[in-house]
Amino acid sequence: MKEGLFSTAGKVALITGGVHGLGMAMAKGIGEAGATVVVNSLKQDEVDVAVAQYREWGIKAYGYVFNVTEEQAVDEALSQIEAEIGPVDILVNNAGIIKRTPILEMELADWKAVIDVDLTSPFIVSKRVAKGMIERGHGKIINICSMMSELGRNSVSAYAAAKGGLKMLTRNMATEWGRHNVQVNGIGPGYFATSQTAPIRVNGHPFNEFIIGRTPAGRWGDPSDLEGAAVFLSSRASDFVNGQVVYVDGGILATIGKPSNED
């Protein structure tokens, strides 16, 4: 019987940094669609807690500790994953950091740290994983971009530069690997209700009002809103979708916004 269009059954999915937040939400969707989920972090306790949560949801999950910015560490970890679990069929480059510092005040070390995690690590991990995908003749890579792949914003220059670069890296990976039946796409989350945004989501906070007013959906995203896009881009439903960034943003990028006197 042909597997379901949106099934990930029998696949191994590696979600870098998928131990909390939006990465965990996407991994949950992919896992509930049938895949074995593998996540990583720099901290063993984060991995242990996350794996326990996935298994509580009924998802087959494993965790590894390694640094996605170190090529040798990535190679060693992937070799271990392949030996213990199986080759990676789905890769989600989710690990990321942000430093909110105006350009004139940003130290070079902070700039490099953001570029390393948000742009260089997807290059390192994808390069390692794609070799096996090409040999097997199939694979899915999802790079987690951002609305900052398209827009600028005060104090996030390094993050925006990295995410803009990641959008173009996605297109170049798709260009080079598409003929091998490896699809490379991106997801660009908008503003989501997470523990990190909790302090600014209170009623009356200027930024909360700005986001709700700026978003056609009229609300912050729920992490579960990302599950559908993640499953789509992980499954055979997207076999002829390549080099695209799916923005899950409630419509922010579609509009200039509404006048202040408009309902």
Predicted local distance difference test score (pLDDT) of residue 259: 62
How confident is the model at residue 1, as a pLDDT?
36
Question: Which pLDDT score, from 0 to 100, does residue 32 have?
Answer: 98
DSSP, res 34: T
H or E element at residue 32: helix 21-32
Domain that holds residue 232: 12-193+223-251
**Local structure of 217: helix, strand or coil:** coil
Q: What pLDDT is recorded for position 195?
A: 86
Q: Over the stretch 82-97, which tens digit does the pLDDT of each residue have? A: 999 999 999 999 999 9
Active-site pick, 54, 62, 64, 159: 159
How many Å apart are CA 247 and CA 122, to the nearest integer? 18
CA distance 39 to 86: 14
Give a yes or no: residue 199 inside a domain.
Answer: no
The answer to whether residue 186 sits within a structural domain is yes
**216: three-class secondary structure by DSSP:** coil
Cα–Cα distance between 65 and 120 in angstroms, integer? 18
159 a catalytic residue: yes
Q: Is residue 67 part of a domain?
A: yes
Residue 240 placed within a domain = yes
The CATH number given to whatever domain includes residue 44 is 3.40.50.720
The whole-number pLDDT of residue 263 equals 56
Any domain includes 201:
no
Residue 162 in any domain: the answer is yes
Report CA-CA distances (Å) from 213 to 93, 194, 200, 255, 257: 30, 19, 14, 11, 8
What is the domain count for the chain?
1
- Domain membership of residue 238 (yes or no) is yes
State which H helix or E strand residue 185 sits in. strand 182-189
Stated pTM of the model: 0.96
Which residue in 157, 193, 192, 175 sits closest to 244, CA to CA?
175
pLDDT at residue 99 in the model: 95
The parts of the chain modelled with pLDDT lower than 50 are 1
Structural domain includes residue 163 = yes
- Residue count (the chain): 263
Tokens 């390069």 correspond to 127
What pLDDT sits at residue 261?
57
